[in-house]
Amino acid sequence: MSGIRTVVVTTPAMLRDMIKRLAVGRVDLEIIAEFKARHALARRLGKIRPDLVVIGLRGNENDAVIGNLLAVIPTAKIIAFPASGRAARGFELRLYHTDLGDAPPEGLVDFIRGCSDSFQTQHRTRI
C-alpha cells in the first residue's frame, strides 16, 4: 500500500522542511512532488493526481485559488497556509444531499429558493 500521495506547493522553507520531516519513515505519507513555482500548476496536478496538496497562499489570495485546483483534482484534499503561515485551512469537495421525498411543487420551489439564498449569502461574504 502506498502512502498519502502528497504535493507541496510554494510553501515557506520552514513549513516545507516540517512536512518533509513528518514524511520520513512513515508509510502513510509520501511526498511525490514539490513545486516552488505555480507555472501550469493545475495541469501538473491533473497529471499526477495527488491525494493531498499543501499550498502556501500569497498575499490576498482567496478560496478561488483552491476552487480552481479542486476542479482539476476533485478527489484531493488541500491544506492552504496564508502568507502569514498561521491558521491553515483544509478544503475538500463533498457530496451533500437533502432528501426531498415526494415533495409537492411548492416544496421544490422552496428548496430552489433556499439554494439561491444560500449561494447569494456565500457570495456576499466573500466580497
SS3 state at 10: coil
Domain boundaries, the chain: 4-91, 97-127
Higher pLDDT, 100 or 74: 74
Rounded Cα gap, residues 83 and 72, in angstroms: 23
Q: Does domain 4-91 have CATH number 3.40.50.300?
A: no
- How large a percentage of the chain has pLDDT more than 90? 28
Per residue in 47-73, pLDDT (tens digit) is 999 999 999 888 888 788 899 999 999
For residue 6, give the H/E element and its range. Answer: strand 4-9
**Would you say how long the chain is, in residues?**
127
Which amino acid makes up residue 10?
T
pLDDT of residue 35: 92
Per residue in 81-115, pLDDT (tens digit) is 887 767 788 999 877 777 777 767 777 777 777 76
**Contact 31/23 with Cβ under 8 angstroms?**
yes
